[in-house]
Amino acid sequence: MEVAADSDAGVAEREAKRARQAAELMPRSVAVDRALGWLSAVYLGLCCVVLAPALSLLIPLMLLRLRKRELANASTGEGGSLTAIKALCARAVAAACGFGPDALAVPMIQRCSLTGPGVGGWLFTQFYWRSIVLGFRLTRRVYVDQLVAPFLQRMPFGEVTYMHARTCWLDDVVTGFAGALEGELGQLVILGAGYDTRGRRLTLPESVRCFEVDAPGTQAAKRALLEALGQGEGDVTYVSCDFATQRWIDVLHREGFDFGVPTLFVWEGVTMYLTPALVAETLRVVRQCAPGSRIAFDYLLHRWAFDPALQAKATRAREPWQFGLREGEQEPFVQQQGLAVLEHLRRDELLRRYLPRRADGESMGVLADFGGFVLAGRPG
């Protein structure tokens, strides 16, 4: 069965809903925006004063702890991926501010630490995400994104902005895919799921089976967290797999994946952590799946992924970046793996679609031209 494209009506409806939400959140006068701009500068300064001493104590401690773990990839070991907690944190901030869709991220981040186990890291995390939310309520600015703004030529992300756009776009892709199935069987496979909550928060038809594939450490930590929150296993089949040492499709197949059923693979915030060969191999798997199967993923531009400062940061977190695409080679790379590019979104379109705007037309968050979001599928 060929899965039809998401209807224009569905997309328009979601855009209208976001516009209504933005109108409720953002001040509707340029004068008020200016006043809030000044207030946000003061708030940002205060946050820097409070956070700087905390960070100067915590960062050396965190590096010591990471060194002790001596893992090539933190995702596979006990406690799992810290970058997955970072993504969760951004979604929790967006939800608590009132513009993000992932409400479950809020109780989840309340039990997590961005710096690994330990009361200090947990306290820091709680202070950190709550201070961003408080800042947004006061000033209608996301202060961590403001802090990044002057360095956009050196750092690609507004952390909340980027993750929020990514979550919204992938939610749209998943609901569009599920809707287009029109009751037929389908599969949703979330690769490198981290603290993804789509299996719970998006109302998927019963005919769609959901799998989450992730490294053992991250997956165990996530399941323990959901258990502690009384969320149980949900209707999700968990598949534990290290992409670097196991063929994930074989592991998934053993857990019940059906090659004959149209499948959407969601691959959010993962390609940068894998080798180019592994990324290419994963794309080629989609070609072996049923007609209508798709994969949705984000990639970094090569110049960001291999920027020495950012490389050093990712390597210190024991989750080194290994993959990026040069300008102009993105779509050919996907096509070389036998897939058609169905959608390829870059910064400007993401800001337009997903970021609430102030009265002066500026987005409340910043985003550099980090790379893009791609939806690819079997051609024909």
Ligand X SMILES: C[S@@+](CC[C@H](N)C(=O)[O-])C[C@H]1O[C@@H](n2cnc3c(N)ncnc32)[C@H](O)[C@@H]1O
Sketch the per residue contact string, 146 through 185, with ligand X: x for CB under 6 A, - otherwise: ----------------------------------------
CA distance 214 to 366: 30
Sketch the per residue contact string, 202 through 241, with ligand X: x for CB under 6 A, - otherwise: ------------xx--x-----------------------
Helices 82-97 and 119-139 meet at what angle, rounded to 10? 30
Tell me whether residue 36 or residue 165 sits nearer to ligand X (CB atom). 165
DSSP H helices in 210-366:
216-228, 248-254, 276-287, 302-305, 308-316, 330-336, 347-354
Beta bridge mates, 341: 376
Sketch the per residue contact string, 46 through 85, with ligand X: x for CB under 6 A, - otherwise: ---------------------------x-x----xx-xx-
Q: Considering the complex, what minimum distance in angstroms separates the CB of residue 193 from ligand X?
A: 6
Is residue 193 at the binding interface for ligand X, with CB under 6 A as the rule?
yes
Question: What sign results for the dihedral spanned by CA atoms 107, 110, 115, 119?
Answer: negative
Is residue 333 at the binding interface for ligand X, with CB under 6 A as the rule?
no
Tell me whether residue 268 or residue 307 sits nearer to ligand X (CB atom). 268
Q: Considering the complex, what minimum distance in angstroms separates the CB of residue 91 from ligand X?
A: 7
Q: Considering the complex, what minimum distance in angstroms separates the CB of residue 163 from ligand X?
A: 7
CA distance 354 to 349: 8
- Compute CA 191 distance to the chain's CA centroid, rounded to the nearest angstrom: 12
Whether residue 232 contacts residue 226, with contact meaning beta carbons closer than 8 Å, is answered with: yes
- Determine which residue in the list 192, 262, 292, 372 makes contact with ligand X, applying CB under 6 A: 192
- Give the number of residues in contact with ligand X, rule: CB under 6 A: 22
CA–CA distances in Å: residue 209 to residues 132, 137, 191, 222, 248: 36, 38, 14, 19, 17
Q: Which residues bind ligand X (CB under 6 A)?
A: 73, 75, 80-81, 83-84, 87, 192-196, 214-215, 218, 242-244, 268-270, 273
